[in-house]
A and B are shown apart, each in its own frame.
Chain A
Amino acid sequence: MNEAIQPLPDGHGSVTRSDAVTRSDAVTEPRASASGAEVVLKFEDVSLSFGDQVAIDHVSFEMAPGSTRVILGAAGSGKTTVLKAAIGLIKPDSGRIFLLGQEITSLDERQLFQIRSRVGVLFQEGGLFDSFTVGENVAYPLLNPKSDKVDLTLVDQKVTEALRFVELEETMEKFPAELSGGMRRRVGIARAVVKEPPLVLYDSPTAGLDPITANTIMALIAKERETANTASLIVTHRYQDGQVMSNFRYKSGSGLLNLEHVEQNGSGGPKITFMVMDEGKVVFEGTQQELEASTDEYVVKFAPKRP
């Protein structure tokens, strides 16, 4: 089990440094390792419980660079746990997780910092720092891991760019508490993508939002996917979110809400995999057509038949 971490001796200084250098190659040219080439995230028979409460139960899946995966499931089905385990915030009890070509289950927190800094995360509760302004929040991923050298003059520019991406440039100096729920979510997205990560994880991006704001958020996620070709893992209880991801495409040069309808069966449609979870177990995995054709009682709840 430990071969995968062979190149990581205890003195992690030198290795992590070289990791940072190969950052851009990580996706286009993953090292041939036990994790297999061309995967940004892979779960291998992962189980995790909190005391007696089983949160995820023998979950396996993998994501290719630039791919989209939507995890559907009721509250408490283990969606957030999957996402947190993916970046090593929670350790699984068994199974292995590979993130950007590295086996992370046996790494310690300091080694994980290096890998996590290449992944964007939008937390369900937002996770914006109350004591920082919006601008400082978005700049945090660029400035914080002191090992990553980011040109200070570039930081301002990148922060402005990321905030412009979510169309919230004018809130730079505000505090998160002064923003609406939808705006906070958008700032969260700006912070998640500011470093141009090859993989972004979104935890219930539309939870607690009105339908219009929810669509804006999904449009932003689609826009990030189209413009940066980011692999996206989207955890949600709303099937419409998945629908937006698979049936719409961001129209460049247009406003926030302008998505273009694409036919899924056409060859140009985005590649997207759906996964349905129930009490920690994966009960469905497949394409949108397969999901809509499913007759499983639980799965059907998440995929209303087309009229």
Chain B
Amino acid sequence: MLDFLKSPIEALQDFYILTGRALKSVVRPPHYIDDIFLQMDIIGVGSLPIIILTGFFSGVVITMQMSRALSQYGATGQVGMIVCITLVRELGPVLTALLVAGRNASGIASELGSMKVTEQIDAMRALGTDPIQKLVVPRLVATCTMLPCLTVISDFVGLLGGYLIASLQLGLSGSQYWTAAYQALAYNDIVQGLLKPFVFAFIISLVGCFYGLRTTGGTQGVGLATTKAVVSASVWIFVITSLLTRIFVNLH
């Protein structure tokens, strides 16, 4: 009767198994340091241009929207605060994660997927290399270190974009804007702003690896795996951010 639940539950179970094995392998030798750096370059440095671009424009857009709303209360001076809170708590982490999911969850899934269908994963195991250690761990470690960095950069560039609008359109001085922004940040916001990307990084890399490694059905299967990886990583990012936000809001 509940047959329709069988395959998603099995998939979830497989995902837990993969997560468990990946976490165990992070601490266990051999470590493939070269692969970690290579992935950091692909995921971190490779995503930088798009992160800067979208971060900047999200700052610009929020400032324009908020300045209109704030002007009704004659509080445009506080725009730095609003922009800062929105970016650091929510928009920075989520936007960055979504972009990295689009870029890298798909990249990971298609790369591992084609390795799976061309039996490179089997060959690896046959030749004494654990694919979890050689393929999954470097991607996990690289994403977990790079995504928080990318998020911080995105937040900062967003604030710069906000400042540009605040000074050009609202005529705010630098100290007015930045003081409001700085004072808005509580310890809690910083923790939340860094914890979220860390958790998202887990989701992105492991979901990408998960769908990649269970690819079947030739090249067509690779395309399918890629799509599934991006969609489910994106959905999970929204689910997780709602949960985390709920927790942090209650902490206040």
Interface residue B220 (Cβ < 8 Å from any Cβ of A): no
Q: Are A127 and B118 closer than 8 Å at their CB atoms?
A: yes
Report the minimal beta-carbon distance from B83 to chain A, rounded to whole angstroms: 43
Q: Is the CB of B123 within 8 A of A127?
A: yes
Q: Which residues from chain A contact B115 at a C-beta distance below 8 Å? A: 130
User: Which residues of A, 133-147, contact B by the 8 Å Cβ criterion?
Assistant: 140-141, 144-146
| Central interface residue in A123, A124, A127, A128, by most chain B CB within 10 Å | A127
Flag B100-131 by CB within 8 Å of A: 1 or 0 each. 00000000000000010111101111111110
Find the A residue at minimum CB distance from B21: A109
A123 touches B123 (CB 8 A): yes
9 pairs, CB–CB < 8 Å, chain A vs chain B: A84-B122, A89-B122, A109-B130, A116-B125, A123-B123, A124-B119, A145-B127, A145-B128, A146-B30
Is there an interface contact between B119 and A116, defined as CB atoms closer than 8 Å? no
Interchain CB contact under 8 A, B117 and A125 = yes
**A129 pairs with B128, CB closer than 8 A:** no
Q: Is the CB of A121 within 8 A of B123?
A: yes
- In the complex, the answer to whether B123 meets A128 with C-beta atoms within 8 Å is yes
Given the known interface contacts A113-B128, A141-B127, the answer about A130 and B120 at a Cβ–Cβ threshold of 8 Å is yes
B126 x A89 contact (CB < 8 A)? yes
Residues of B within 8 A of A114 (CB): 128
User: Which of B115, B123, B124, B129 has its CB near the most chain A CB atoms (within 10 A)?
Assistant: B123
Q: Which residues 38-97 in B have Cβ within 8 Å of A in the complex?
A: none
Q: Could you tell me the distance in whole angstroms from the C-beta of A306 to the nearest C-beta in chain B?
A: 35
Query: Are A109 and B123 within 8 A (Cβ)?
Result: no
Min CB gap B21→A, angstroms:
10
From B117, B122, B123, B127, A117 is in contact (CB under 8 Å) with B127
> Is A181 interfacial (CB-CB < 8 Å)?
no
Contact of A127 among B30, B122, B128, B130 (CB under 8 A): B122
Cα separation A123 to B124 with both chains bound (whole Å): 11
Q: Which residues of A contact B129 (CB under 8 A)?
A: 144
Number of interface residues of A (CB under 8 A): 23
A residues contacting B by CB (< 8 A) are 84, 87, 89, 109, 113-114, 116-117, 119, 121, 123-130, 140-141, 144-146
Q: Which residues of A contact B128 (CB under 8 A)?
A: 113-114, 116-117, 141, 144-145
Please tell me if the beta carbons of A87 and B118 are within 8 angstroms of each other in the complex: no
Using known A-B contacts A109-B125, A146-B30, determine if residue A128 contacts B120 with beta carbons closer than 8 Å: yes
B122: chain A residues at CB < 8 Å are 84, 89, 123, 127
Instruction: Report the Cα distance A128→B120, complex, angstroms.
Output: 6
* CB atoms of B126 and A126 under 8 A apart: no
- A84-B127 Cα distance, complex, nearest whole Å: 13
**How many whole Å from B78's CB to the nearest CB in chain A?**
52
Contacts A87-B126, A116-B125 aside, 20 further interface pairs with beta carbons under 8 A come to A119-B126, A121-B126, A123-B119, A123-B126, A124-B119, A125-B117, A126-B118, A127-B118, A127-B126, A128-B120, A128-B123, A129-B120, A129-B124, A130-B115, A130-B118, A144-B127, A144-B129, A145-B127, A145-B128, A146-B30
Q: Chain B CB within 10 Å — which of A109, A125, A130 has the most?
A: A125
Least distance between B20 CB and chain A CB atoms (Å): 14
Given contacts A109-B130, A146-B30, is CB(A127)–CB(B125) below 8 Å? no
Closest Cβ neighbor of B114 among chain A residues = A130
Q: A113-B128, A141-B127, A144-B129 are in contact. Are A125 and B30 (CB under 8 A)?
A: no
Rank and list the top 8 A-B pairs by shortest CB-CB distance, nearest first: A127-B123, A145-B128, A127-B119, A123-B119, A113-B128, A125-B119, A125-B118, A121-B126
Say whether A116 contacts B123, CB under 8 Å: no
Give the complex CA separation of A123 and B30 in angstroms.
25
Residue in chain A with minimal CB distance to B28: A110
Q: Which of B117, B118, B125, B126 has the most CB of A within 10 A?
A: B126
Measured between beta carbons, the chain B residues less than 8 angstroms from A130 are 115, 118, 120
Measured between alpha carbons, how far is A226 from B135 in the docked complex, in Å? 38
**Who on chain A is nearest to B216 by CB?**
A50
What residues of chain B lie closer than 8 Å to A109, measured between beta carbons?
Answer: 125, 130
Using CB atoms, name the residue of chain A closest to B122: A89
For B127, the chain A residues whose CB sits under 8 A away are 116-117, 140-141, 144-145
Nearest Cβ distance between residue B169 and chain A, in whole angstroms? Answer: 50
Task: Quote the shortest CB–CB distance from A105 to chain B (angstroms).
Answer: 16
Q: Report Cα–Cα, A307/B128, bound state, in Å.
A: 47
Task: Decide if A126 touches B119 in the complex (CB within 8 Å).
Answer: yes
Which A residue's beta carbon lies closest to that of B134? A144
| Complex-state Cα separation, A127 to B126, whole angstroms | 10
Residues of A within 8 A of B124 (CB): 129
A50 to chain B, nearest CB (A): 10
What residues on B are CB-neighbors of A145 within 8 Å? 127-128
CB distance from B234 to the nearest CB of A (A): 28
Closest to A124 in B: B119
